[in-house]
Amino acid sequence: MTVANAYKPQRNFWLLVILMLVGALVGDALGAVIIPYLPMLKPFASVGLAPATLDLHFARLTFGFTLTLSPLTALGLLLGYLLYRKL
């Protein structure tokens, strides 16, 4: 290990996740406001798992996940990543 690496601050993975999540949320909220005026910014991709239910008679569990990506959401994710790199 070199001296330069010894003093390099360790980056936190969870900080990256939080910054990208906040960036995506801000981009999505901004998109919700702007889409009525600029319809070209509507979501262009949606991927995920459809909800599936496991019924055990005494408990019912529902699993599912969907990610909808719009240009402003992608921009928010990118800005969150760039902010993480600057820290």
Tell me the pLDDT band of 13, cut-offs 50, 70 and 90: confident
In a domain, 62, yes or no: no
Residue 39 structural domain: 10-46+68-87
The dihedral through the CA atoms of 46, 78, 85, 17 has a sign that is negative
Q: Can you tell me the distance from the alpha carbon of 21 to that of 76, in angstroms, rounded to the nearest whole number?
A: 8
Q: Give me 59's structure tokens.
A: 């408990």
In the chain, the number of structural domains is: 1
Q: Is residue 38 part of a domain?
A: yes
pLDDT of residue 69: 87
At residue 1, does pLDDT exceed 90? no
The pLDDT mean for the chain works out to: 85
pLDDT tens digit sequence for 22-45: 999 999 899 889 988 988 888 888
58 within a domain of the structure (yes/no): no
Residue 27 lies in a domain: yes
